[in-house]
């Protein structure tokens, strides 16, 4: 067990967003958080690494209460890939090197540079090293942010809809890279994702959120037509194409 989330509750002044979410996950697994817009997927991710402060609940990392750590200490354990990339003109290398921020005391050391270089190679960004990030395509930008999170050498990697702005090829590329990282570096990956089929293909654990509450949590077997209807309010047919599980919406 590496990450254990217990009873996370969060709300804005007018509305409750998360109502006591609990789950746990192991190293090397990829978990997908599924649900409609506004179900609380992004909020849950931000509550895990304390970008948002939950009203109640505990996040344990190997039995240590994460929310008693400083933001810098948390950043040494959890990498986060936000939904939107703020447009800036840092070079790709500088943007990835930022992932070393939680470790850098005064200046980047040789080791920091080496780790950033490895993250760039892992994301296959070698040819863009000195290009400003804002000049890259959406897919390349997404890879830069993932590389930055990898440079944090995290135990847990949180990704907020990493494929939402990507074309089909980049969607598959990015998901392959993420699952590769989980497998090789034994990182626990949590992805909030809209595309059910991508999730079915690449994730091993599924959390289905509705109105800030987990309706279902488990492996591929937990994805049924009944639970999809309950969460998304859509009828689907579940099947298999080319060896991969798929969900096709049917009906009006």
Partner 1 sequence: MKAPDGIAHAYSAYTRKKTLLFLFFLVLLAAAALLALCVGSYRLMPMQIIDTLLGRSGEAASIVVWNIRAPRIVAAVIAGWGLALAGVVIQCILNNPLGSPFTLGISHGAAFGAAFAIVVLGEGAVRGSGDNAGVIENIAVNGIYSVTLFAFLGAVLATVVIIILARIRKMAPESIILSGVALSSLFVSGTILIQYFAEDVELASIVFWTFGDVGRASWGEILLMAAVTVPATAWFFMHRWSFNALSAGEDAARSLGVNVERIRIWGMLGAAFLSAMIVSFLGVIGFLGLVAPHMARRIVGEDHRFLVPNACILGGLLLLASDTIGRTILESGALPVGVITSFMGAPLFLYLLVRGTRR
Of 36, 58, 60, 90, the one binding partner 1 by CB under 8 A:
90
Question: Is the Cβ–Cβ distance between 22 and 214 less than 8 Å?
Answer: yes
235 forms part of the interface with partner 1 (CB under 8 A) = no
Measured from the CB of residue 21, what is the shortest distance to partner 1 in angstroms? 19
Minimum CB distance to partner 1 smaller for 88 or for 224:
88
Residues 142-201 that bind partner 1 (CB under 8 A): 145, 148-149, 152
> How deeply is 193 buried, as exposed, middle or buried, from its count of CB atoms within 10 A (0-12, 13-18, 19+)?
buried
Minimum CB distance to partner 1 smaller for 67 or for 201:
67
Minimum CB distance to partner 1 smaller for 115 or for 205:
115
Q: Which two tokens stand for residue 78?
A: 């959890």
Q: Could you tell me which stretch among 69-77, 191-199, 202-210, 216-224 binds partner 1 (CB under 8 A)?
A: 69-77
Measured from the CB of residue 88, what is the shortest distance to partner 1 in angstroms? 5
Query: Which CA distances in Å does 186 have to 25, 65, 90, 119?
Result: 12, 21, 30, 15
What would the x/- binding string for partner 1 be over residues 109 to 128, using CB under 8 A?
A: ----xx--x--xx----x--
**Count of alpha carbons within 13 angstroms of residue 169, beta-carbon side:** 4
Nearest one of 86, 90, 96 to 132, comparing CA atoms: 90
Cα 129 from Cα 144, distance rounded (Å): 10
Cα 231 from Cα 227, distance rounded (Å): 6
6 forms part of the interface with partner 1 (CB under 8 A) = no
10 forms part of the interface with partner 1 (CB under 8 A) = no
Cα 1 from Cα 23, distance rounded (Å): 11
Q: Could you tell me which stretch among 4-12, 46-54, 209-217, 219-227 binds partner 1 (CB under 8 A)?
A: 46-54
15 forms part of the interface with partner 1 (CB under 8 A) = no
Look at residue 35 and give its three-state secondary structure. coil
Measured from the CB of residue 89, what is the shortest distance to partner 1 in angstroms? 4
Residue 133's φ and ψ, nearest 5 degrees, are -60, -35
Tokens 């067990």 sit on residue:
1
Minimum CB distance to partner 1 smaller for 132 or for 245:
132
Question: Which residues have a Cβ under 8 Å from the Cβ of 225 and sit 6 or more positions away?
Answer: 235, 236, 237, 238
Minimum CB distance to partner 1 smaller for 46 or for 210:
46
Of 22, 64, 71, 109, the one binding partner 1 by CB under 8 A:
71
Which positions touch partner 1 (CB under 8 A)? Answer: 46, 49-51, 70-76, 78-80, 82, 84-86, 88-91, 93-95, 98-99, 101-102, 104, 113-114, 117, 120-121, 126, 129-130, 132, 134, 145, 148-149, 152
């Amino acid at each position: 067990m590496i990450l254990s989330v217990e009873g996370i509750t969060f709300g804005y002044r007018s509305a409750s967003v998360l109502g006591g979410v609990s789950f746990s996950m192991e190293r090397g697994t990829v978990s997908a958080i599924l649900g409609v817009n506004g179900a609380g997927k992004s909020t849950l991710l931000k509550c895990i690494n304390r970008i948002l402060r939950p009203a109640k609940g505990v996040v344990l990392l190997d039995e240590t209460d994460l929310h008693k750590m400083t933001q810098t200490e948390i950043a040494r354990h959890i990498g986060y890939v936000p939904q939107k990339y703020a447009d800036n003109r840092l070079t790709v290398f500088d943007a990835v090197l930022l992932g070393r921020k939680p470790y850098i005391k005064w200046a980047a050391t040789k080791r920091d540079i080496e780790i950033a270089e490895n993250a760039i190679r892992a994301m296959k960004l070698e040819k863009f090293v000195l290009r400003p990030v804002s000049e890259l395509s959406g897919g390349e930008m997404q890879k830069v942010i993932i590389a930055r999170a990898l440079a944090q050498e995290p135990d847990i990697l949180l990704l907020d809809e990493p494929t939402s702005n990507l074309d089909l090829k980049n969607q598959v590329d990015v998901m392959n890279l993420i699952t590769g990282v989980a497998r090789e570096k034994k990182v626990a990956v949590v992805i909030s994702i809209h595309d059910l089929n991508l999730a079915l293909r690449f994730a091993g654990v599924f959390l289905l959120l509705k109105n800030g509450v987990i309706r279902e949590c488990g492996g591929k077997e937990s994805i049924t037509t009944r639970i999809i209807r309950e969460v998304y309010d859509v009828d689907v047919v579940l099947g298999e194409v080319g060896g991969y599980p798929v969900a096709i919406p049917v009906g009006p």
